Chain A
Amino acid sequence: MMSTYYAGLLADVGILLLGALSVYIILATGQLSLGNAGFMGIGAYLTSYLTVTMGVPLTLALVIAAAASGAIGVIIGFPALRLRGIYLAMATLGFGEMVRSFFLNFDAMGGAGGFHGMRHVSLGYIWTWAAAILLLVAILEHSQIWLELRAVRDDETAAALVGLDTTTIKVGAFGFAAAVAAIAGGLFAHHHVYIEPGNFSFERSIDFVLAVILGGSTVGAGALVGALLLVMLPEHLRFLADWRFAVFGGLLIAMLLVRRQGILDRSLFRFFEFRRSA
């Protein structure tokens, strides 16, 4: 039997994986979002409200929260995606902080005091979701729509001129990412059985981005490697006591210098596919 300590860490990995995937999906269109903790917060609060107050079964609540968050993603995506690069990053950061301060002042769900009453979910339940969405992304990566995302990232003008509706593609990716982040939030709420606005701060958005950059930003599986490392590495550096985060940061910088694309990348996968068909 796994120790509850490791079970807790693995639950964190699964939740971080989903958050990282939500960043990865937006990154596939060439944009950086620093506000995905906002969508995670929306998912966490909405799912908890549905299960605790309305008595909705968790799985259904997660689906509803994902759909609602996805819709919000699409609505704010239309104006936000007129911005690019660092400006979009700043706008999404602002969105994340806006969501956090909304829940801070939203007394109907506890405000600064947080919200509780959720029923704890099993590690298996969390990982069923995480694995299913990782699989979904892996399948999508071989689809026409993913080629379109990459084309939009590489050259929006040229993409439009072969008939790709670049706005819809970008907004759609943003909405999908918002839905995935909301599921991460719902699972987080039902794993920790208590949420407060501070759970969905800027640092969490940064964790998502870090996991993607560390694991590999050109393949979905990179998010898995990144999430594992981000959760497990500081644990295994515990013997360094207070220095462990400094060492972790140093390792991160070293990796970026040596292998900017992250641990996994697409050519690695192409290499294996080639070997298989040869």
Chain B
Amino acid sequence: MTGKQQPRLEAAGITKMFGGIRALNDISLEVLPKQIVGIIGPNGAGKTTTFNVITGAYRPSTGEVRLDGKAVTAEPSHLIARAGISRTFQNIRLFGDMTVWEHLLVAQPHSDFTLRRLLPTRWADPQAFRRAEEILEFLKLADVKDRIARSLPYGIQRRVEIARAISARPKLLLLDEPVAGMNHDEADDIRRLILTLRDSGLSILLIDHDMAFVMNLCDYLYVLDFGVMIAQGRPDQIRSNPVVLDAYLGHAT
């Protein structure tokens, strides 16, 4: 099913132990360029842990993470981010007293040793400024540009987090429960946004509980249960998979 295309992301044989607990047991997954891939599974299945391993927050006990064929396993998070992986968090993590605009500016990529970082952003890096403005428009955040991000309604905070993640110019975007706690209209906004991002060339790996949401959106799904990958396939294959119905829907109700 992968054809000959080089995957954007490959996680191969990942095991993650916490003390004696096997949070991830030999899981493998891949995301192709411009693909939207979902990870589903009940609470505590290991979905967020998978993200933490991919982004270098956790060192896997065994296994390898590759971005465009290059191993990035357990590299420092900032190097993985620079290599092209950005993420959002299940519990929104915005910068305390920064405005929306500052969130977009700070995440713009800069080389380490450049005078530009020391001069006022407005004059020093008009290009970064313009990119941030584009993202602001694109995510419909222009109205709240100068508001402190954390003071905004929940749904908008989620958009700010996505805006910050794409400001870092990733190739692969990881979204941890992007529509959790949103109403139907807000969730549909995010769904359309994710499709647009994919069309602009991003690969997307997302976690969600909401079956209908992922079924509608993803090209491919992985199902995790107690740290084990119990199924994978296209949404129509997953929908009718008895193992999934049993394990996942069994827990969920």
Contact = CB atoms under 8 A, between A and B. Distances in A.
A144 interface: yes
Given A162-B86, A163-B81, A165-B112, A157 B125 contact: no
Contact of B110 (A139, A140, A144): A144
A241 interface: no
B98 A147 contact: yes
A144 B98 contact: no
B97 A154 contact: yes
Interface string A116-136: 000000000000000000000
A160 B96 CA distance: 15
A143 B118 contact: yes
B119 A266 contact: no
Interface string B112-125: 10001111111011
Given A160-B76, A161-B55, A142 B107 contact: no
Nearest to A152: B95
Nearest to A163: B81
A86 interface: no
Given A154-B97, A155-B93, A157-B57, A163 B118 contact: no
Contacts of A155: 93-96
A168 interface: yes
A143 B106 contact: no
Contacts of A178: none
B125 A144 contact: yes
B164 interface: yes
B168 interface: yes
A183 interface: no
A161 B81 contact: yes
A148 interface: yes
A158 interface: yes
B86 A151 contact: no
B89 interface: yes
Given A143-B118, A144-B121, A151 B95 contact: yes
A153 B110 CA distance: 19
A254 interface: no
Contact of A140 (B107, B118, B128, B167): B118
Contact of A160 (B81, B94, B95, B117): B81
A244 interface: no
A145 B121 CA distance: 9
A143 B117 contact: yes
A158 B97 CA distance: 14
A262 to B, nearest CB: 14
Contacts of B109: 163
A31 interface: no
A164 to B, nearest CB: 6
B59 interface: no
Contact of B167 (A148, A162, A165): A162
A158 B95 contact: yes
Contact of B78 (A139, A147, A164): A164
Contacts of B81: 160-163
B167 to A, nearest CB: 7
Q: Which of B97, B124, B164 has the most CB of A within 10 A?
A: B97
Contact of B98 (A140, A142, A150, A165): A150
A161 B124 contact: no
Given A162-B107, A163-B81, A163-B82, A157 B120 contact: no
Contacts of A145: 117-118
A168 to B, nearest CB: 7
Nearest to B84: A163
B159 interface: no
12 contacts: A144-B108, A145-B118, A147-B98, A147-B106, A150-B106, A154-B94, A158-B94, A158-B95, A160-B76, A162-B165, A163-B78, A165-B78
Interface of B: 55, 57, 76-78, 81-82, 86-87, 89, 93-98, 102, 105-110, 112, 116-122, 124-125, 128, 146, 164-165, 167-168
Interface of A: 139-140, 142-145, 147-148, 150-151, 153-155, 157-166, 168, 218, 266, 270, 274
Closest 6 CB pairs of A and B: A154-B96, A154-B95, A160-B77, A163-B81, A162-B107, A147-B106
